[in-house]
Amino acid sequence: MSLFSFQVPFMPEQASKFALEVDLFYIALWLMTIVFSVGIVAAIFIFMVKYRRRRDGEIPEQIEGAMTLEILWTVIPFIMALGIFAWGAKIYYQMYTEPKEALEIFVTGKQWMWRAQHPDGQREINTLHVPLGRRVKLTMTSEDVLHAYFIPAFRTKADVVPGRYTSTWFEATKPGTYHLFCAEYCGTQHSGMIGTVTVLEPGEYQAWLGGGTNEPPAVTGERLFSSLACSTCHAADGKGRGPKLAELYGKPVKLNNGSTVAFDDTYIRESILDPGAKIVENYQLIMPSFRGQVSEEQIAQIIAYLKSIGPKDGGAAAATSAAPAAAKPAATKPAAPATK
């Protein structure tokens, strides 16, 4: 919200549920800063004038210190600091706790563009369309270097890291178009890796999704699962050379070294690219790495497929971090014509 019409903005627009709380916090901290700095600077000025040197040979009365004062100005700032910590931690906790029943959008960062894929298959580059008043979770990874997905109007930001999934979420509260920036330095065109986030009324969002012939990622994933010959070993009847993957998403898996890992996005991705890292109990490592053969988006599609054939309850009881599958496309849906 620019306070003046002639482009002297002080605060970015408030367009998400977090924005108001973050702004209140920010203003409160400025007030505290102003009180302290003005207090100290005023004290200095008063002392400077009042106690200015009057004679070359004067020695003022010496004061060694005062324990009471020291304790006061140690304890009071400490208590204030704890308060600030608690306030900040509370907001952070909300931002970083995965929301329930969110719309999941998959985002890939790449020098120097942002790609997004919606659950029903709609894709976009350097833009993001989200519905108003609905929780949106972004699952993100990078194909090359570090990036960060930053929407100032939503007060959210998260690094986008190659080799792992990171996520952030928000709930837009105001229709409009807002800035999208890459905030983690990523090379030559870092400042060109920008775009827009458009918040649409739910109806408009549905209409926007409908514009185009799209295939849901889970369907593409299913096709990949057979075209890459995953289904040969990970056979649906459980008799293949690899573990059966249906009804598994979100559940814990026992490994050959005795430990347990959740069968979630991160583990699936790692197993596709680096099968030797964690091997399921009672199985041999015979799977080749698919590094270089599948893109990050294709991996996400395979994950979407595995999620769609996962347990009905989403495996939420067992998994620690995997959110319930919100993927509405069913595996049974007939495959639409390939979008390429």
Residues 92-111 that bind other proteins (CB under 8 A): 92-97, 111
Euclidean distance between CA atoms 301 and 221, whole angstroms: 4
| Residue 233 found at the interface with other proteins (CB under 8 A) | no
Region of residue 96 (left: phi > 0; alpha: psi -120 to 50; beta: else) = alpha
Residues 6+ apart with CB under 8 A from 225: 231, 234, 302, 305
- Secondary structure of residue 217 in the 3-state scheme: helix
Query: Binders of other proteins among 303-322, rule CB under 8 A?
Result: none
SS3 5: coil
Q: Which residues between 280 and 299 bind other proteins (CB under 8 A)?
A: 285, 287-289, 291
- Position 239 contacts other proteins (CB under 8 A): no
CB count in 10 Å sphere of residue 65: 6
In whole angstroms, what is the distance from residue 297 CA to residue 82 CA?
A: 43
Interaction residues for other proteins, span 211-230 (CB under 8 A): none
Q: Is the dihedral of CA 142, 145, 146, 152 positive or negative?
A: negative
Residues in region 101-160 near other proteins by CB under 8 A: 111, 144-146, 148, 150, 152-153, 155-159
Q: Is 92 exposed, middle or buried (0-12, 13-18, 19+ CB in 10 A)?
A: exposed
Question: If binding is defined by CB under 8 A, does position 328 make contact with other proteins?
Answer: no
Sole binder of other proteins in the list 113, 161, 209, 261 (CB under 8 A): 161
User: How many residues touch other proteins (CB under 8 A)?
Assistant: 104
Which residue among 3, 5, 58, 312 contacts other proteins (CB under 8 A)? Answer: 58
For other proteins, the closer CB: 144 or 201? 144
Task: Considering only residues 169 through 188, tell me which ones interact with other proteins, judged by CB under 8 A.
Answer: 179, 181-188
- Peptide bond preceding 208 in cis form (omega within 30 of 0): no
Q: How far is the CB of 150 from other proteins (least distance, A)?
A: 6
CA gyration radius for the chain?
A: 27
Instruction: Give me the least distance between CB of 166 and other proteins, in Å please.
Output: 4
Q: Are 131 and 200 in contact (CB under 8 A)?
A: yes
Piece of 80-88, 238-246, 296-304, 329-337 that binds other proteins (CB under 8 A): 80-88
What residues between 248 and 277 interact with other proteins by CB under 8 A?
256-257, 274-277
Q: Which stretch binds other proteins (CB under 8 A): 41-49, 100-108, 305-313, 327-335?
A: 41-49
DSSP string, 159-187: EE-BTS-EEEEEEB-S-EEEEEEE-S--S
Rounded Cα distance between 218 and 304, Å, is: 5
- The answer to whether residue 31 forms part of the interface with other proteins (CB under 8 A) is no
Nearer to other proteins, 70 or 247 (CB): 70
Which of residues 161 and 326 has its CB atom nearest to other proteins in the complex? 161
Could you tell me the smallest distance in angstroms from the CB atom of residue 17 to other proteins?
Answer: 12
